[in-house]
Every structure is written in structure tokens, then in C-alpha cells.
């Protein structure tokens, strides 16, 4: 009997102790985990913030690099790579055009010496793509520009939108009505506008128009120590229907008609063989004068980018294979060897809208 009573008292006392312990745990204040603590599998909780979605992808602070064709200090349309916010939807084309509007969201992002091209207060009412043609609907404010600005507006819009692989042609509307001509100076655009129409067009009285062809060529230039490339459409004399040879020879000669554009080739450079195009790759063989450093086989980055940007503007060229006489391999200025033909993506990454 005495042992039974003793057992009851022990059990009762133990229960009181356990109850006190549980109450003590519940009354403890919450303690934040260390900032660098990792979640334990099976017990993690959502830690997303207003800057992240449930997949951990940053939204409000996320940006992407885009090319905008803007007006430089010399009045030429030139591409500039600018970090833009990732749009909430897939309206990339609409966003790009909004960033071409004067006094618009691009203002605080403009590189020194550059300005936007579309009239202030222009609204982008919509943009749709079908079979390689993008149709852009603009508000009435789009008509508020000077006649001298018309070609630059067309060129900037066209080259900005056709940087994407699935866009070849641009058509315009104002308040839902298709434009047959531009509203101020009457440039015909009923069939749309393409890169083939040119950009920063250079007229020449010395070229044989019968035996010449217009091509868009890229030349580097500088403004306040900032280097960028300018596309220029010009006539080149074409012999024996070899337009690729004509383009390379024109590049070597340099942009003699525009003093602000740079000559990057040694004037002694010679193209030793006729260009050979095979499955989209153009092979060029130069003399050693094309090199910046002959001993180490280094070709100037400016020279390579000039060649590749220019020649890949041709519809049938996707890459350029540059070779140099008696040089086994060539490298860029960082010492990286060119082991494959160089594509435009090396300088301007491409994508689709």
C-alpha cells in the first residue's frame, strides 16, 4: 500500500514538472534566425520579398540590356546598349519604342551626347507581329516633328525593332489608321520600312550608280572618350557581281567622307583572295598588315567588330572567318584565340520578340 502511494506521488510530481516546462517554452519570445542561415529541408518557409517572386526571380529591380537607336551629337542614328527594366508583360517592342520618345523614360538613361528621336508625348498604342512584319500603332502626337527629323525617326524605329531575329519590316499606324506616307515630309511607307532602306545615308556624286550597290557599313567613333559604332549606308562600286569584295575594299579605304568616323585599318592591308561564302560563313584572307600585333597574331577588336558588324548586315552571311597570311591563329586584344568563325552575337546578342 505504501509503495503504491509513493508511485502515485512520483507520477503526479513528474507531471507538474513537465507542464511547467511546456509553459516555459511557450512563453519564450520569438528569435529571428541568423541572416545567413539556410533553410532546413522539410521545414523551410516562404522568404520572398516584394522584389522577388515565388521562384526567387527578382522582379522590380531586374533589368535587361537592350539596344536603342538614338541620335548622337553629330546628328547620326547609332545604337546604344542601355539597361532597361524587365517589362511586367511580354510587351518588349512597346517598351523599346517608349524609350525612344523625347522627354520620356529614357531621359535619365541617355548616354552623354545622345537624344531620343520620337516626338515628346508620343504614346505607343499597340504593336503586333505577323510573318516578320511588326505593325506599330502611335498616338496623334507622333505627327509633331520637323521635316528634317523624318528620316532619322524612321531609321531609329526600324533598326531598333529589326534587331530581333523575327522582325524584318516595320509598318506604322496613327490612332489605328495605316500610314501610306510619313505625316510631315511624305516619305512613302505603304509597304513598310526595312533595313534595306538604309540608315545615315551618304549620297555620292562620284559613284557609278549603274555598277554600284548600297550597303550598310559600321565604323567606330568617339564622344567624350566613349566609343560606339555608327551604321552608314553608302554606295560601293561592285565589279563582277562580287559585292562582298567591294564591301571589304571599302572598309579598308575607310570613311573618308565623315571625319568623325574612325579609320581602323592599316592602309597597307590587302585582301589576298576573293571572299568565299560557304553555308553562311564568309572566309576572308588578309595580309599581315591587318594585325595590330604581328608577332603575337593579335587583331584589333575595332577591326574585327567593324568587319563582322558590316558583313553580317548582308542577308546571306551569318559569320565571318578571318584568316591572315602565314599566321596559324589570330587572337583578340585579350589574347583569346578565334577558334571559330565570328558571329554578330559576339558583339550584339540576338533574340526574338
The number of residues making up the chain comes to 353
Q: How far is the C-alpha of 225 from the C-alpha of 186, rounded, in Å?
A: 38
Residue 212 has pLDDT above 80, yes or no: yes
pLDDT one-digit tens code per residue, 121-141: 999 999 999 999 999 999 999
pLDDT digits (tens, 9 = 90+) for 217-268: 999 999 988 899 999 999 999 988 899 999 999 999 998 676 689 999 999 9
Distances (CA, A) of 278 to 217, 284, 315, 327, 345: 22, 12, 14, 22, 19
- Distance (Å, whole) CA 301 – CA 311: 15
| Partner residues linked to 245 by β-bridges | none
Calculate mean pLDDT across residues 104-110.
97
Q: Does residue 318 sit in helix, strand or coil?
A: coil
The answer to whether 293 and 258 are in contact (CB under 8 A) is no
CB 57 within 8 Å of CB 88: no
How does pLDDT run across 38-56, given as a tens digit for each residue? 333 333 333 333 343 333 3
**Whether 112 contacts 224, CB under 8 Å:** yes
8 Å CB contact between 159 and 195:
yes
| pLDDT value, residue 17 | 38
Res 205 pLDDT > 70: no
pLDDT at 11 over 50: no
- pLDDT tens profile 129-187: 999 999 999 999 999 999 999 999 999 999 999 999 999 999 999 999 999 999 999 99
The residues near 203 (Cβ < 8 Å, ≥ 6 apart) are none
Q: Enumerate the domain spans of the chain.
A: 63-197, 209-346
* Average pLDDT in the chain: 85
CA of 144: how far to CAs of 93, 121, 159, in Å? 22, 9, 21
* Residue 161 vs residues 128, 290, 293, 332, 352: alpha-carbon distances, Å: 12, 34, 38, 30, 10
| C-alpha separations of 147 from 75, 114, 130, 140 in Å | 14, 20, 30, 16
Average pLDDT in the 55-66 region?
A: 66
Task: Give per-residue burial for 113-128: e unless 16+ CB within 10 Å, then b.
Answer: ebebbbbeebbbeebe
| C-alpha cell recorded at residue 101 | 520618345
35: Cα separation from own chain's centroid: 37
Q: How far is CA 143 from its chain centroid?
A: 27
Note the pLDDT of residue 258.
64
pLDDT of 285 higher than 70: yes
Angle at 205 between CA 200 and CA 209, to 5 degrees: 85
pTM of the predicted protein model: 0.80
Amino acid at each position: 500500500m505504501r509503495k503504491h502511494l509513493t508511485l502515485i506521488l512520483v507520477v503526479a510530481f513528474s507531471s507538474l514538472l513537465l507542464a511547467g516546462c511546456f509553459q516555459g517554452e511557450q512563453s519564450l519570445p520569438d528569435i529571428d534566425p541568423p541572416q545567413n542561415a539556410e533553410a532546413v529541408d522539410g521545414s523551410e518557409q516562404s522568404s520572398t520579398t516584394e522584389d522577388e517572386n515565388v521562384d526567387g526571380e527578382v522582379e522590380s529591380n531586374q533589368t535587361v540590356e537592350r539596344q536603342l537607336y538614338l541620335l548622337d551629337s553629330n546628328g547620326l542614328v547609332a545604337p546604344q546598349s542601355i539597361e532597361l527594366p524587365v517589362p511586367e508583360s511580354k510587351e518588349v517592342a512597346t517598351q523599346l519604342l517608349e524609350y525612344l520618345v523625347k522627354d520620356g523614360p529614357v531621359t535619365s538613361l541617355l548616354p552623354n551626347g545622345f537624344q531620343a528621336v520620337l516626338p515628346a508625348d508620343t504614346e505607343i498604342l499597340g504593336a503586333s507581329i505577323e510573318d516578320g512584319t511588326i505593325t506599330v500603332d502611335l498616338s496623334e502626337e507622333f505627327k509633331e516633328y520637323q521635316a528634317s527629323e523624318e528620316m532619322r525617326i524612321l531609321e531609329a524605329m526600324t533598326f531598333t525593332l529589326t534587331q530581333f531575329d523575327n522582325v524584318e519590316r516595320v509598318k506604322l499606324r496613327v490612332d489605328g489608321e495605316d500610314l501610306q506616307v510619313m505625316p510631315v515630309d511624305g516619305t512613302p511607307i505603304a509597304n513598310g520600312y526595312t533595313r534595306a532602306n538604309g540608315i545615315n545615308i551618304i549620297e555620292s556624286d562620284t559613284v557609278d550608280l549603274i555598277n554600284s550597290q548600297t550597303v550598310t557599313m559600321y565604323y567606330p567613333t568617339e564622344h567624350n572618350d566613349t566609343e560606339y559604332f555608327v551604321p552608314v549606308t553608302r554606295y560601293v562600286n561592285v565589279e563582277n557581281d562580287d559585292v562582298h569584295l567591294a564591301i571589304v575594299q571599302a572598309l579598308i579605304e575607310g570613311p573618308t567622307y565623315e571625319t568623325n568616323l574612325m579609320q581602323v585599318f592599316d592602309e597597307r592591308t590587302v585582301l589576298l583572295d576573293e571572299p568565299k561564302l560557304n553555308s553562311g560563313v564568309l572566309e576572308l584572307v588578309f595580309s599581315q598588315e591587318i594585325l595590330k600585333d604581328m608577332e603575337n597574331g593579335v587583331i584589333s577588336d575595332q577591326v574585327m567588330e567593324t568587319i563582322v558588324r558590316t558583313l553580317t548586315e548582308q542577308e546571306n552571311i551569318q559569320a565571318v572567318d578571318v584568316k591572315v597570311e602565314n599566321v596559324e591563329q589570330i587572337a583578340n586584344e585579350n589574347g583569346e584565340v578565334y577558334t571559330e568563325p565570328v558571329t554578330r552575337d559576339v558583339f550584339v546578342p540576338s533574340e526574338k520578340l
